[in-house]
Amino acid sequence: MKSEDVKKLRLCVITNSIEIARHALKGGAGAIQYREEKEKDTIDLVKKGKEIKELCDEHGALFIVNDRVDVALAVRADGVHLGKRDMPLDIARELVGGRIIGASASSVENALKVESAADYIGFGSVFPTGSKEGVVVTGIEPLREAKRKIKIPIIAIGGITLENIKKVAEMADGVAVISAISGAEDPEGAAKRLLEMLR
C-alpha cells in the first residue's frame, strides 16, 4: 500500500450515510468505509456506494467498501474491508488485484494470520462499543503488541471517541470511528477535532 494511502487512513470514518460522509470529508477525514446492513439489496449498495465514492474522489480520500468485494469492484472503490466471515483474503486478492484489502482482527494471533494477505488491519474493538453485537473488547495492551509485531499498518477500531483517542494515537497508524462522527452535533467539527488529537 502506498505511503500516502496509509496517511489517509489516519482517520477513517465508517458510515452508511451520504450526509455523514460529506461532513466527515469536509472535516478532513482521509478515508470513508461504507458499511451497510447485510440484508440490503446489491443494487442499493451500488447506488449509494457510487455517490459516496464521488464525494471521496472530490476530497482526494480513500473509499473502502465493507464486506462486499462485488460492490467494491462495481463502484471502483479503492479497496474492501473483510471480516472473518467474509470472502477469504486470498480469493479477494485474486479479484481485486492491486486494490487495498483491509482485514479485521481482535487479537494479535488473528492479526498475524491475516498479515500476509492484507494491506492493513482493523484491530479491536479497543474499547466497548454499541455498533455491533457480541464484540470482543481487546483493550489497549493487545493493540500495543500488535503494533510492535505486525509489519503492515494497524488501524485501531471500536469505541474510539474524543475522550480516549489520545490513548491509541501513538500505538496505531490510524483510527476508524463511527459514533464519534455520526453521533456528533457537528460531524465536520468532530472530524477536525479528532484529527487534531491524532497529530
The two beta strands, 100-105 and 174-177, are: unpaired
Q: Which of 53, 104, 125, 147 is catalytic?
A: 104
Residue 87 sits at φ, ψ, to 5 deg, of -55, 140
**Active-site residue among 35, 48, 53, 99?**
35
Catalytic residue check, 35? yes
Can 76 be counted among the known catalytic residues?
no
DSSP states along 117-145: T-SEEEE---S--SSSTTPPP--HHHHHH
Beta strands in the chain (DSSP E): 11-15, 31-34, 62-66, 79-82, 100-105, 120-123, 154-157, 174-177
Is position 132 annotated as part of the catalytic site?
A: yes
* Catalytic pick among 84, 132, 148, 166: 132
Catalytic residues: 35, 104, 132
